[in-house]
Structure 1
Amino acid sequence: MKKNQFVFACAAIAALVTAGIFLLSLTIGRYPISWEAVMTDAIAARVFLTLRLPRTCMALIAGFALGIAGCVYQVVFQNPLASPDIIGVASGSCAGAAFAILSFGGGIFATAGFAFTGGLIAVAVALTLTALSRRRGMLTLILSGIVVNALSQSLLMLMKLTADPERELASIEFWTMGSFADITMRKFVSVLPVVFFGLIGLFLLCRQILLLGLNEEDALMLGVSVTSMRRIVLSLATLITAAVISVTGMISFIGLLAPHIARLLARTNHSITVTLSGFVGGCLLLLADILARSIASTEIPISILTSLLGGPFLFWLMCRGKEENHG
């Protein structure tokens, strides 16, 4: 099988697996729902339409968007550890969302807008710190991300200190742990156009994104305006990340895990690998959401589960890189 055919086959299989997990997720939870009950029982149909369907759709879209965004960050920064978590976009977006909760009562549009602004500021600060450093390799970007995360967490803790314990503090804690428990169809529909716009933009620029993964001189020779294209692509990736975080809270490691798993499956960097990253992200987050609402009597915050998966995977990547360097 040719390489392109193999990559397309991987993407097709991933899409089918994602669809299967999506359908399974619709029926699993503290209140199990069968397809027959949805058709015959009014209460089951109402629970399905008002709670289970928007929640499952949001988990799928969030995983897909974070997987795509993580792939874009890794290609553009030419860094396998770049992700919305590592370089501070997620924590910056959460700080922006917390500011909106304190200042504007947590309205959906204000929260999404400030989450996006916080994510953009985080990216700008990380890039500026990297540019100011004498060394501009992978380690410098990671250290810049650590600095941005520390600053964002400090601002977040300061806002928690000034928040109303009975109302605002609980809402801020929601963002830091992440959850799909409060997803409604209204929330899902409100962020869907933003995520859709960002994803369409990234797919249209997919060729340019892959060229940004080359050396800057090579990309310029192939007709890519590196500086402006990098800004556009990072803005779109940050937009979809912030839009997701604005309704789900912080979701850790999906943007790091999904692209790596996609490349391990496809064994190449290809335009379809970007899409495959989205499907892998969707699968991971759907499975995490199923576990979050099924394995305990109370719902587990989604980032606890994704971190339990992502931490060991990140350690494995570090060990793998060390073996390759010695090899």
Structure 2
Amino acid sequence: MNNRMRTALCLLGAALCVFWAFGAALCFGRYPITVNALLAGDAMTVRTFTVLRLPRAVMALAGGFGLGVAGFVYQTVFRNPLASPDIIGVSSGASVGAAFSILFVSSGAVGTTACAFVGGLLAVFLSLGLAAAAPGRSKTNLVLAGIAVHALAQTALMLLKLTADPEKELASIEYWIMGSLAGVTKSRVLFPVPVVFVCCAVIFALHRHALLLSVDEEEARLLGVPVGRMRFVLLTLATLTVAAVVSVTGLISFVGLLAPHCARLLAGHNRRSACLLSGLLGSVLLLTADTLAKTVASTELPVSIFTSLLGVPFLLYLIIKQGREVH
């Protein structure tokens, strides 16, 4: 089987899995939905479907796709298999923004979403500014800047937690950090889904440049790629995608790490089709995790529990594999 056929079969299989996972997300939950009841026009079924299930499933679909594509970009640009969407502080910044909103602005969905989005972007711009101010043009500058911003954001988050009411505000902050799609409504989907769609479309259009950034910088420059500018554009697009998703869902662990690796293992290359496959696998992962989060227990669980159950063993596998390759 040639490489093109293998990739086509992988994309077809992933698309079918997305279709199945999306259908399961619509049907399963505390109030099961059947096609017959929906077609019959049962009032409770129709309301549950349109108000709760459909926006939530669309958010999981778009969010997983965006996290998968963003993770693919980070790993390609940094040439680091352990790179993930929070490598330059976007997740930590979003957490600080959400906590600030809960404490001082509004604990409502709109206020928390807006502040989390702004917090994620501020963290990223701070990381990019620190990396630009550092001497040299090493790609490790941005990684180190991201680690510094992450530490700073975690310190700010701890200070905000200390000022929170333990019974109300602290619980809201902790629940947001754990990640959940339970609060997703139709109005909250209108912002992140278009952002994810536009940013991912531009990333796909620029994928050739992203691929060239994965080789030596001097070679990329000889091939006519403006390395610094293109790296900034691609990382900004990926970060906008992640910020738009986590500002609504809270922190979602490991999707941006796991999906790109699985895509490369299945496709056997790093081209545009592998990036698309990474997005599809991210959607499958988040849709499946969200379905499990609302069905396996009497109370709804944070979705990151299930993404972490898959992601942690895979991360350990990557660390062990890298250690063996070094030796």
TM over 0.5: yes
Q: 1:166 to 1:153 in 2, by over 3 A?
A: same
Tell me, what secondary structure is at the counterpart of 2:274? helix
Q: Whole-Å Cα distance in 1 between the matches of residues 206 and 138 of structure 2?
A: 26
Deviation at 1:151, TM superposition (A): 2.1
Q: State the 1:191 CA deviation.
A: 2.1
User: Structure 2 vs 1, CA of residues 144 and 314 (structure 1 numbering), >3 Å: closer, same or farther?
Assistant: farther
2:217 touches 2:227 (CA, 8 Å); kept in 1? yes
Which residue number corresponds to residue 28 of structure 2?
28
1:166 Cα deviation after fit: 5.5
Aligned to 1:250: 251
5+ residue gaps in structure 1? Answer: none
Number of positions where the alignment pairs a residue of Structure 1 with one of Structure 2 = 325
CA contact (8 A) 1:85 1:252 kept: no
Note if 1:5 corresponds to 2:5. yes
Give matches, 1:1-327, under 5 Å: 1-40=1-40, 41-106=42-107, 111-126=112-127, 128=130, 132=134, 145-165=146-166, 168-326=169-327
CA distance in 2, matches of 1:196, 1:22: 17
Q: 1 CA distance for matches of 2:220 and 2:121?
A: 24
- Is 2:95–2:119's contact at 8 Å kept on the other side of the alignment? yes
Offset, 1:146: 4.3
Q: Is the 8 Å Cα contact of residues 87 and 145 (structure 1) preserved in structure 2?
A: yes
What per-residue deviation string (whole Å, max 9, x for no partner) do you get for residues 68-107 of structure 1? 1111111111111111234432112221232233343156
User: 1:149 Cα shift?
Assistant: 2.8
Matched residue type, 1:292: A
d(CA) in 2 for partners of 1:104, 1:220:
46
- CA–CA separation in structure 2 for the residues paired with 1:202 and 1:129: 22
Instruction: Point out the more displaced range, 194-203 or 31-40.
Output: 194-203
Change (3 A) 1:150 1:32: same
Structure 2 letter corresponding to 1:83: S
Q: Is the 8 A contact 2:191 2:244 kept in 1?
A: no
Q: Structure 1 stretch 302-311 or stretch 81-90: which is displaced more?
A: 81-90
- After superposition, the Cα gap between the structure-2 partners of 1:179 and 1:96, relative to the gap in structure 1 and judged at 3 Å, is same
Q: What TM-score does the superposition give when structure 2 sets the normalisation length? A: 0.90
Residue identity matched to 2:19: A
**SS of equivalent residue, structure 2 residue 27:** coil
2-structure distance, mates of 1:263, 1:130: 31
Shift of 1:132: 4.4
Question: How many Å apart are 1:197 and its aligned residue?
Answer: 2.0
When structure 1 is superposed on structure 2, of 79-88 and 35-44 the one drifting more is: 79-88
Q: Residues 63 and 193 of structure 2 are in contact (CA less than 8 Å); yes or no, is this contact kept in structure 1?
A: no
| Distance verdict in 2 for CA 1:287–1:135, change over 3 Å | same
What's the offset of the Cα at 1:28? 0.9
Equivalents in 1 of 2:36, 2:134: separation in Å? Answer: 61
Task: Please provide the CA RMSD for this pair.
Answer: 2.4
Q: 1:325 and 1:130, CA in 2 relative to 1: closer, same or farther beyond 3 A?
A: farther
Distance 2:272 2:19 in 1: 21
